Amino acid sequence: MARTKFLALSFIVLLGIGLSNVARVSRYVSAGGGGGGGGGGGGSGNGSGSGSGYGSGSGYGQAGGSSGGAYASGGGNGEGGGGGQNGGSGYGSGSSSGYGQADGYGSNGGAYAQGRGQGGGGGGGQNGGSGSGSGSGSGYGQAGGYGPYGGGYAQGGGQGGGGGGGQNGGSGSGSGSGSGYGQAGGYGPYGGGYAQAGGQGGGGGGGGG
């Protein structure tokens, strides 16, 4: 009888230790995603040549912690370039997007999310050629913390740039766009949320003879 009670008590103690370890591990969960792409092309000829390049990248990260904190980040990068000479044409395009989402639940839940994107493209033409470049980037971040001391932090940023140039009767055009989005929420008696978003875009084109 005493041995049976001892075995039952030992099993209960070991079960309690295992559950505490699981809870400790689940207090912090992290996830990250990143992607990058690049492309380039060029062509030249004694009459006509063309080149084009395209690159795209995307990143996604998502994390959730049921008893603590969560961290997620996503980033993407895209770049492309092309050039043409002697009546040729060049075109470059790059686009990217980044997305991050995190949620933390618990008595001291906290969440952090970050998303960023960058894109760039360039093209050039010479001797009656043409060049164009376009780039776009977007970033998105979302975070939520739930609990008496819940806090959330989110950051999103995007950058885009494009440029094109032409020489000796050529033409060039450039366009760039960027967008950033951030959202954060803290829920509870002492909840706090912080969100930051920024976007940047630039484009330039020139022609000379």
> What's the one-letter identity of residue 31?
A
Mean pLDDT of 161-183: 63
pLDDT tens digit sequence for 25-39: 333 344 444 444 444
The alpha-carbon radius of gyration of the chain (Å, integer) is 26
Q: What is the end-to-end Cα distance of the chain in Å, rounded?
A: 103
Reduced to 3 states (helix: H, G, I; strand: E, B; else coil), residue 117 is strand
The pLDDT value given to residue 38: 47
Domain count for the chain? 1
151: Cβ contacts below 8 Å, ≥ 6 apart: 109, 110, 111, 145, 186, 191, 192, 193, 194
**Containing structural domain, residue 201:** 1-207
Would the pLDDT of 204 be above 60?
Answer: no
Percentage of residues in the chain with pLDDT exceeding 70? Answer: 0
